[in-house]
Amino acid sequence: MQVWLYLHFPYLQLDALFSSPASLSSQGPSSEQSSLTLPLVIVDEKKHQIVQLNNVAQEQGIKVGMGLGSAAALCSDLQVHAYDSDTEHQTLTHIAQWLYLKTSDITLYPSKGLLLKVTNMLSLYHDLDSYWQTLYAHITKLNLRFHFATGFSPYSAMVLAKSAKDTLYRDKEAIMAQLKPHPLAASELEKKQVEQLSRVGIKTFQELLALPLQDLAKRFNIELVNYVGRLLGQFKHPVIFYHPPEAFNRYLELLFDIDNVLWLEKPLMKLLEQLELFLTLRNQVAYELCLTLHLRDHPDQNQSFTSAGGDYFAAKWAVLSKLSLESITLNAPAHGMTLRITRGGERQSHTQDIFTGTTARGINAQQTELELISLLQAKLGSERICKTQKTHDPRPEKATRLYNPISMPEVHSPLIEPRLRPSIMEPTPLPLYEKVSIIDGPERIVSGWWDGDQITRDYFVVRSNEGRWLWVFRDNKQQWFLHGQFS
């Protein structure tokens, strides 16, 4: 018997919204009333009916299908949010990507369902119970309410899951026994088809399945015949399996407008956790992220986060994003945010000496050069952080150059022969007034004729009477200058 598992999320948009203003605010007891204590409903704007609600609203007597006017009359502090099928579809895709870590052969049934083909996974998990224990522990981390059921066909699993059976059925007879008493309103048939069947006295699955397919084909349309055949597993049920996307672009809707940039940290962390999952699945890292803040009655506001070495951990990106957000101001309250990868790449393996060990400073002692650059870029801005690189120009003033690791990639040139140079260089040569003793030299440098900045100098390593080791030169006019000091 083929085993299918259907997951039904009746409150998908409501559960997926970031709706905790109390956790964002720190202004005292008056702000402690969060969405967990306020009655909240999702309303279909076309029909003005309640389609989703939280437990607090349900305790006030509000029910699914009730009109908005009646619900408002029952509850004066009712919080209302418009239903958005696109948001639910995006959330359903995120759930599928999360489940893809534990199971394959996932089919999306927007806007509230996922169909999983279990049969092929039993060879990995050995039995249905082990498979479900692993899957259940994984999906509960998302904190979403859902119902589930197994069936011998996709439609049988759908009916039982939407009826909140929350049971794993292993026997076809047991599934049929549970299926037959259900009304046809619980099926995937169109409402007109259900009403047509009801007028001739067919109101339950038992009454429908008692009729042969030949009689159904004569009296009703082919859609009903196909549905019954697929329900019983006699006809092939075509499905399109989900494959994780290749580009990361996630949108999160905020139930409450946020006007303080520091309050964006918690909702942003939800997107960063999805980013970590996306990168982990592909063994990749991100070098630059772009956060788009969707503002109320204002143009979108963008903010970039960069990591010099590339990261995939949500915790590390959270630190970088927090430092970057400290330097910006919101132009208007934000009602949503989108996070996407602008630069990414394959994850590189880094080897570490096993004899190095750790010091008392812990993690900070293991901070690499690239991690330090990432923190400085987040705090000061990417354009203010530069590195030095040697050049082939023999003139000491131009022997090195500054470059930005983000906007100007490092140019890898052939190895340059090391020369004796001081650790401390003067920005411009200074006249030499003190008496010195020549220790080494001269080293003649004649260069720069190609760009109009020609020099002719003889450099010496000298020692002053005070004991300092200096780097000096004599120009073609026999004048002496101090250019550097050895540490």
Q: What is the mean pLDDT of each run of 10 residues along the chain (487 residues)?
A: 93 73 34 58 90 89 90 88 87 89 91 92 91 93 91 95 92 93 91 90 92 86 91 92 85 84 87 88 87 91 85 88 85 91 78 50 54 73 74 80 63 61 85 89 85 86 90 90 88
Indicate the residue type of 236: K
The bridge status of strand 40-44 relative to strand 79-82 is parallel
pLDDT of residue 400: 77
Angle, CA of 223, 224 and 229, to the nearest 5° = 100
Q: Residue 470 carries which DSSP code?
A: E
Side-by-side strand order, sheet with 455-464: 424-431, 480-485, 469-475, 455-464, 436-447
* pTM of the predicted model over 0.85: no
The terminus-to-terminus CA distance of the chain in angstroms comes to 80
Dig out the tokens for 224 from the structure.
Answer: 């009903």
Q: DSSP letter string over 203-225?
A: -BHHHHHTS-HHHHHHHS-HHHH
**CB neighbour list of residue 47: distance below 8 Å, 6 or more residues apart:** none
Distance from C-alpha of 254 to C-alpha of 18, rounded to nearest angstrom: 5
DSSP lists the bridge partners of residue 390 as: 400
Q: Rounded to an integer, what distance in angstroms lies between the CA atom of residue 108 and that of residue 86?
A: 13
Q: What local confidence, expressed as pLDDT, does residue 28 receive?
A: 33
Q: Which amino acid is at 291?
A: L
Taking the C-alpha atoms of residue 454 and residue 451, their distance in angstroms, rounded to an integer, is 8
pLDDT reported for residue 240: 93
Give the residue carrying structure tokens 């407008």. 257
| The token pair that represents 19 in the structure block | 């709706």
Q: Dihedrals φ, ψ of 161, to 5°?
A: -70, -40
Please give the pLDDT value at position 34: 46
**Main-chain dihedrals φ then ψ at residue 430, nearest 5 degrees:** -110, 145
Return the residue matching tokens 């037959």.
180
pLDDT on residue 21:
36
